[in-house]
Amino acid sequence: HSFHGWTPWIMDNKSIVETIKRMTINRYLFCWDNVPGSENESLLRFLTEDLGLEWAGNATINKTDDNRTIQIYAGNNSANLTLDVENETATLEIGGEIILSLIVKEENKIYKRETCDTDIDTEVSKIYYFTQTHIIDTTTRNLTINETANITVEWAFQTDGERFIVAKIDPEGVIMEYNEANNTFKQYMTVQAADLEVTNLSLTWLDGTEIGEDITVRDNDTVRITANVTNIGIEEAKNFDVRFLVDDILIPGGKKPIASLAPHESETLTANWTAEVGKHVIKVEADYEDKINETNETNNIEALVRYVCGAEVSGNTSWETLGLHGLNGTILFDPTQPYDEDDVSITAVINNSGCVNATNFSVALLFDCKPSDTFHKAVNEVPKLMSETYNNAVCIYLYIDINPNYSPPVLVIRDKNNTEVTRTGKSCWIHVPGDTVEIKQYNPNDFSPEYTISLYPVYRTNLTRDENLTVNANSSKNVSIRVRNITVGEHTVLLFIDPEGNVPEDDKTDNIASRIMRVNATRDFTVINVIAAKRNLSDTDTADITAEVANVGLRNGTANVSIIDYETENRTYRYHFDKSLPVSYLPIAPNAALLKPEYDNLTIIHRPGVDSLQLHFERIRLFESDKLLICNETGDKILEKTGSYSRRDYTILVPGDTAYIYKTSLATFSLSGYTAVNKLLYEENLQLNATKTWNETKNITTKWLATTGNHRINVTVWNNTIKEINETNNTFILPLEVNASRDPTVVNITFDPEHPDIGEDMNITATVRNNGTKPATFTVDLWRTTTRLISQSELPEIGLLNQTQVTLAPGENATITGVWKNISFYGAPTHVVTAIVDPLDLIDEINESQSDNELSSVILMNFSDFNVTRFNQPTREDKNASVEITNLGVLNASNVTVRLELGRYNPYPLAGSGFGYYKISHPGAADLRLHFINIDASQGWLGITNNFEDYIEYSGEDFGDVWTPEIEGDTVYIVYSDASFVMDEYRWGDVEYKIIDCLNASESENVSLPERWSKYERPTFLNASVNPYDNITELNEYNNNGTAVIYADLVLREVGTVFSEDGDLSGI
Give one DSSP letter per residue of 262-279, joined into a string: -TT-EEEEEEEEE--SEE
Distance separating alpha carbons of residues 534 and 553, to the nearest angstrom: 32
Quote the pLDDT of residue 180. Answer: 74
Helices (H) and strands (E) counted in the chain, each on its own, are: 3, 70
| 878, 889 Cβ separation under 8 angstroms | no
At 1068 the pLDDT is 45
3-state helix, strand, coil in the chain (%, to 5): 5, 55, 45
The backbone region for 90, taken as left when phi is positive above 0, alpha when psi lies in -120 to 50, beta otherwise, is beta
Among positive and negative, which fits the CA dihedral 168, 172, 174, 177? Answer: positive
In this structure, the dihedral spanned by the alpha carbons of residues 871, 873, 879 and 883, taken in order and rounded to 10 degrees, is: 0
* For range 113-140, the mean pLDDT: 49
Superfamily classification of domain 744-859: Immunoglobulins (2.60.40.10)
Contact of 770 with 743, CB cutoff 8 Å: yes
Q: Which residues fall within 8 angstroms of residue 581, CB to CB, at 6 or more apart?
A: none
434 closest CA partner among 416, 412, 421, 452: 416
Spatial CA neighbour of 661 closest among 675, 640, 634: 640
Q: Select from 605, 618, 607 the least CA-distant residue to 572.
A: 605
pLDDT for the residue 103? 86
pLDDT tens figures, 274-309: 999 999 999 999 998 888 888 888 899 999 999 999
Task: Name the fold adopted by 196-309.
Answer: Immunoglobulin-like (2.60.40)
The pLDDT-based confidence of 159 (bands split at 50, 70, 90) is: low
Pick the closest to residue 397 from 490, 514, 503 (CA basis).
514
Strands 731-739 and 537-538, by their bridges, are: parallel
Q: Taken in order 1015, 1017, 1023, 1028, is the CA torsion positive or negative?
A: negative
**Exposure of 285 in the CB half-sphere (CA atoms within 13 A):** 27
pLDDT digits (tens, 9 = 90+) for 215-268: 999 999 999 999 999 999 999 999 999 999 999 999 999 999 999 999 999 999
Given a cut of 80, whether residue 1042 has pLDDT beyond it is: yes
Domain coordinates of the chain in residue numbers?
24-114, 196-309, 313-318+350-477+489-519, 523-717, 744-859, 866-1046
Lateral strand order in the sheet of 109-114:
25-31, 109-114, 97-105, 89-94, 77-83, 69-74, 60-63
Picking from 712, 809, 740, the residue whose alpha carbon sits closest to that of residue 538 is: 740
pLDDT the model gives residue 122: 36
Mean pLDDT, residues 504-533: 93
DSSP string over 965-984: PPEESSEEEEEEEEEEEEEE
DSSP code for 210:
B
Q: What is the rounded CA–CA span in Å between residue 495 and residue 473?
A: 20
- Report phi then psi at 108, rounded to 5: 55, 35
CA nearest neighbour of 301 among 317, 316, 281: 281
Task: Report pLDDT for 258.
Answer: 94
Find out whether 390 and 377 touch, Cβ atoms under 8 Å. Answer: no
Q: How confident is the model at residue 345 (pLDDT cuts 50, 70, 90)?
A: very high
**Closest CA relative to residue 869, chosen from 1003, 1000, 1001, 1011:** 1003
Judge whether 24-114 and 196-309 match in fold.
Answer: no
Residue-level pLDDT at 205:
95
- pLDDT above 50: residue 119: no
DSSP-assigned beta bridge partners for residue 405: none
Q: For residue 36, is the peptide bond before it cis, meaning its omega torsion is within 30 degrees of 0?
A: yes
Confidence of residue 463 (pLDDT cuts 50, 70, 90): confident
**Contact residues for 875 (Cβ-Cβ < 8 A; gap 6+):** none
pLDDT tens-digit series, residues 942-994: 999 999 999 999 999 999 999 999 999 999 999 999 999 999 999 999 999 99
Closest alpha carbon to 241 in 230, 255, 222: 255
pLDDT in tens, 558-575: 999 999 999 999 999 999
Three-class secondary structure assignment of 44-108: HHHHHHHCCCHHHHHCEEEECCCCCEEEEEECCEEEEEEECCCCCEEEEEECCEEEEEEEEEHHH
pLDDT at 10 (0 to 100)? 45
- One-letter identity of residue 1011: E
Is the confidence at residue 22, as pLDDT, over 50? no
Which fold, 24-114? Copper Amine Oxidase; Chain A, domain 1 (3.30.457)
For the chain, the farthest-separated pair of C-alpha atoms sits apart, in whole angstroms, at: 156
Q: Look at the alpha carbons of 239, 245, 247, 249 in this order and tell me if their dihedral is positive or negative.
A: negative
Whether residue 1032 contacts residue 867, with contact meaning beta carbons closer than 8 Å, is answered with no
CA–CA dist 317, 346 (Å, integer): 7
Torsion angles phi and psi, residue 332, rounded to 5: -70, -50
Return the percentage of the chain with pLDDT > 90, whole number. Answer: 65
Average pLDDT, the chain: 88
DSSP 471: B
Report the amino acid identity of residue 242: V
CA 741 to chain centre: 51
Buried b (16+ CB within 10 A) or exposed e, 130-139: eeeebeeeee
Instruction: Give the chain's end-to-end CA distance (angstroms, integer).
Output: 107
Identify the bridge partners of residue 988 per DSSP, sorted by sequence position.
904, 928
Give the DSSP letter string of 517-565. Answer: EEEBP---EEEEEEEES-SSEETT-EEEEEEEEEE-SSS-EEEEEEEEE
Tell me the three state secondary structure of residue 566. strand
pLDDT at 21: 34
pLDDT in tens, 605-652: 999 989 999 999 999 999 999 999 999 999 999 999 999 999 999 999
Peptide bond into 753 cis (omega under 30): yes
Q: How far is 772 from 740, CA to CA, in rounded Å?
A: 8
- Which residues, 6 or more positions from 531, have their beta carbon under 8 angstroms from its beta carbon? 545, 546, 734
